[in-house]
Structure 1
Amino acid sequence: MNKKLMLATLISASLLVGCGDKSSGPAGGMVPLVAVQPVTVIDYQQGKQFVGRTEALEDVAITAQVSGYLKSRSFNEGETVEKGQVLFEIEPAAYEARVASAVAAIAQAEATLERANLDWKRGQNLLPRGSISQSEFDRLTAEKLSAEAQVKSANAQLKSAEVDLSFTKITAPFTGRISDSKASIGDLVSPSSGVLTTLVSLDPIQASFNVSERERLNLGIDSLDGAGEGQGDVEVVLTLTNGKEYSELGKVDFIGNRIDLQTGTIAMRASFANPEQSLLPGQHVQVFLREKEPVKRIVIPRRAVQSDLEGDFVMVLADENVAERRNVVLGPQTEHGIIIAEGINDDDVVMTKGLQRVRNGVTVRVEETGAQE
């Protein structure tokens, strides 16, 4: 009897426990609480940054064109020299003598030509009378032609001597900054002596860089010709190694004529005004190639973007506080947020917090601004 009584008691207790569990279950789900934010529309200039190096528009090694002792140097090392300014002078005495000799040779050749012309004219009058033979007249004609050739040769020798004399003064071919001198006064210099100094132009200055084929198409560079002219609407911003942005905007002035098969890039170059000569050839720089005119773009906080097997999406607050899923195409990240290329409109409101419990079509509660949870 005791066992039967104990069994009955256990069964009754089990039934009571079951009834208690059922009555204490949750009454219903809570409505998700979310934070929302309207999308932002910004002016955005699409661009891409590349590693570049500055180059001089003109870069020349100054060498001697004639041999002689260096007479003078007419510049201070490292200064800016003007186009046509005399840099070095080679002792000119020997070359002045050659010019004088060539002038004398011309006078002699012209005198010979004058006598030959007189003899030829005299023979021309005598030939019809039979006073001279045809062969004698032919000889006079040959002497006349030879004398004319001698005059031409003497004039050519004079021009050559004058050119050599002009080379005794070595001048700057363009305005630029000159380097140190590799020769001293009194040195014997010649074309085989090597570089006397170097000269580079600094205003404007160029920056060379390489762009991939995809970036070339995305930025519209394919519409520019090899000199950077055309319908393309791009400008260039330069950033120095100290992180500061260069004050002058650049312009694309050269695009290569082929894609490098090994790197898949095309060579490009931009030109920058350099009035203060703060940029020097050989500097490493960051070249930012961007659209010249900004365009309107939608941005949202990065935390509003979620991803699943279907791709990237955001939850938008629809009418009557209903959550609506929008699949989106992401653009680049900016300081204002991430750009949304496709998927939402400029009047949408996106959810930025409390997204874990939000599903498409679910009604949500909107967190009030400044409210504490």
Structure 2
Amino acid sequence: MLLRQAAPVRFALPALCLALAACGSDTAAEKGGRGQAGTPEVGYVVVQPTAVPLVTELGARTAAFQTSEVRPQVSGLIRRRLFTEGSIVKKGQTLYEIDPRLYAASAAEARASLNSAAANAEATRVRAERFKPLAAIEAVAQQDYTDAAAQARQAAAAVAQSRAQLDTAQINLRFTKVPAPITGRIGRSLSTEGALVTAGQTDPLTTISRLDPMFVDIQQSSADLLKLRRALAAGGVAPSSAAVRLKLEDGSDYGQTGTVQFTEVMVNESTGTVTLRARFPNPQGLLLPGMFVRAVFAQSVDTSAFLVPQAAVKRDPKGATTVLIVGPDNKAIERPVTATRVVGANWVITGGLKAGDKVITEGTARAKAGQPVKPVVAGSAQKFNTAPAKGDKTQPTKG
């Protein structure tokens, strides 16, 4: 009986030892898998200074390219209105007709006066010419010839005076037809037929506006303009002639682009702003005078900025921005930078980087400042250790 019971114990001990050895080897393998984690692989880009437009978005108001207030130049009653309100009128087109009868009579009177003066001038001229040879032979007194010549010159002057009066009367007669001074869209009529108008009155009869092209008056603070001029004077920033784009009141983009025409030299004392005037084509008449718009344009170009992908830039709770770069011995180095704005998918970095720096853009979550990294060019296939440790494999047990 004793021999039969000892035999199983003798065979069970080696099996137990093998099982413990296997467990120990699996534990060691698990520890070795975790301890032998590889250096993190990161992707980098080599940054170089580039020209970046300094885009500005400012509020603006639209203004008509030309505006003309139509006023009468003679007094009288309006007989007819010869245009349709809100339509396009051409330069020189008759808009109103003022009663011309009084001015026609004045023109006729001036013409008659001219004819009378011309007849008198002819008579005095002939008389002076007759006296001239008689005075030479002393057949008449020299004083008589002198008086005749003076009368002839006076008569000629009276003819010129009468002709000027006739011209004035004819001009006033033409002014009874009020023309359009410019081509454009005419507004509503402020005077009706039968209304009495006077020369030089304050209120216009109507207003004409030329809406194609259109002016856009952009308001920029004098402080920003001063900052821009100092940057241009210091170098590193170049003036830009980029086109101006508009955002309309509903937030949509205006399809046409314009150009800045000039900048005023006076600062508005009440607002502290300077006006920049841009010119835009307006073939469809979408822009109307007085609309509020947003102007987007580049006043200058930063020639020494760096474009860094947004994923590479980190911002702490205090607002400071940093990037990781590949330093000596392939160690990650944290570098504070100055990130001013976003252009597309990149941050514009104006300080903290130099040409040739290798900025880490991929794998930033695995890279730690001061620790080694395995740098590869950004966009290369990243290698990840996804194989489970040996200790994590489940071995089937046999019953």
- TM over 0.5, shorter chain: yes
> Which residue does 1:7 correspond to in 2?
none
> Which residue does 1:245 correspond to in 2?
253
Q: Which amino acid aligns with 1:237?
A: R
Check the 8 A contact 2:81/2:97 in 1, yes or no: yes
1:369 CA displacement: 7.0
Q: Which amino acid aligns with 2:358?
A: D
Q: More displaced, 133-142 or 272-281? A: 133-142
Secondary structure of the residue aligned to 2:290 is coil
1:165 CA displacement: 1.0
CA distance in 2, matches of 1:241, 1:371: 54
Measured on the aligned residues, the alpha-carbon RMSD in Å equals 3.8
1:48 CA displacement: 0.4
CA distance in 1, matches of 2:329, 2:82: 85
Q: Relative to 1, partners in 2 of residues 1:201 and 1:305: Cα closer, same or farther, differing over 3 Å?
A: same
Q: Relative to 1, partners in 2 of residues 1:263 and 1:167: Cα closer, same or farther, differing over 3 Å?
A: same
> Which residue does 1:160 correspond to in 2?
168
1:285 CA displacement: 0.8
Flag structure 1 segments of 5+ consecutive residues without an equivalent: 1-26, 224-230
Check the 8 A contact 1:75/1:87 in 2, yes or no: yes
Tell me which of 157, 175, 178 is aligned to 1:170: 178
> Which residue does 2:13 correspond to in 1?
none
1:131 CA displacement: 2.7
Check the 8 A contact 1:314/1:328 in 2, yes or no: yes
Q: More displaced, 195-204 or 89-98? A: 89-98
CA distance in 2, matches of 1:260, 1:193: 27
> Which residue does 2:308 correspond to in 1?
299
Check the 8 A contact 2:132/2:145 in 1, yes or no: yes
1:233 CA displacement: 2.0
1:258 CA displacement: 3.9
Q: Relative to 1, partners in 2 of residues 1:304 and 1:372: Cα closer, same or farther, differing over 3 Å?
A: farther
> Which residue does 1:63 correspond to in 2?
71
Check the 8 A contact 2:312/2:324 in 1, yes or no: no
Secondary structure of the residue aligned to 2:135 is helix
Q: Work out which of the two has the higher radius of gyration on C-alpha atoms and give 1 or 2.
A: 2
CA distance in 2, matches of 1:112, 1:372: 121
1:365 CA displacement: 7.1
1:357 CA displacement: 8.1
Q: Relative to 1, partners in 2 of residues 1:141 and 1:329: Cα closer, same or farther, differing over 3 Å?
A: same
1:98 CA displacement: 1.8
1:204 CA displacement: 0.8
Tell me which of 309, 331, 353 is aligned to 1:322: 331
Give a deviation string over 1:32-76, Cα, whole Å, max 9, x none.
Answer: 968656479999543101111011121121111111221211111
> Which residue does 2:216 correspond to in 1?
207
Flag structure 2 segments of 5+ consecutive residues without an equivalent: 1-33, 233-238, 376-380, 388-399
Q: Relative to 1, partners in 2 of residues 1:297 and 1:325: Cα closer, same or farther, differing over 3 Å?
A: closer
CA distance in 2, matches of 1:248, 1:272: 7
1:196 partnered with 2:205 = yes
CA distance in 1, matches of 2:296, 2:383: 39
1:185 partnered with 2:193 = yes
Check the 8 A contact 2:312/2:364 in 1, yes or no: no
Give a deviation string over 1:102-158, Cα, whole Å, max 9, x none.
Answer: 222111111111001011111212212223223322321221121011111111101
CA distance in 1, matches of 2:186, 2:231: 38
> Which residue does 1:16 correspond to in 2?
none
Q: Relative to 1, partners in 2 of residues 1:43 and 1:52: Cα closer, same or farther, differing over 3 Å?
A: same
1:79 CA displacement: 0.9
1:110 partnered with 2:118 = yes
> Which residue does 2:360 correspond to in 1?
350
1:218 CA displacement: 7.0
Q: Which amino acid aligns with 1:156?
A: A
Check the 8 A contact 1:80/1:176 in 2, yes or no: yes
Q: More displaced, 172-181 or 88-97? A: 88-97
**Percent identical residues:** 28
> Which residue does 1:270 correspond to in 2?
278
CA distance in 2, matches of 1:143, 1:275: 65
Tell me which of 84, 90, 95 is aligned to 2:92: 84
Secondary structure of the residue aligned to 2:211 is coil
Q: Relative to 1, partners in 2 of residues 1:199 and 1:132: Cα closer, same or farther, differing over 3 Å?
A: same
Secondary structure of the residue aligned to 1:233 is coil
> Which residue does 1:13 correspond to in 2?
none
Q: TM-score, normalised by structure 1?
A: 0.77
> Which residue does 1:331 correspond to in 2?
340
Q: TM-score, normalised by structure 2?
A: 0.72
Q: Relative to 1, partners in 2 of residues 1:260 and 1:355: Cα closer, same or farther, differing over 3 Å?
A: farther
1:195 CA displacement: 1.6
Q: Relative to 1, partners in 2 of residues 1:241 and 1:267: Cα closer, same or farther, differing over 3 Å?
A: same
CA distance in 2, matches of 1:198, 1:271: 21
> Which residue does 1:8 correspond to in 2?
none
CA distance in 2, matches of 1:34, 1:251: 48
Check the 8 A contact 1:204/1:271 in 2, yes or no: yes
1:214 CA displacement: 6.0
> Which residue does 2:264 correspond to in 1?
256
1:127 partnered with 2:126 = no
Check the 8 A contact 1:45/1:293 in 2, yes or no: yes
Length, aligned pairs only: 338
1:190 CA displacement: 1.8
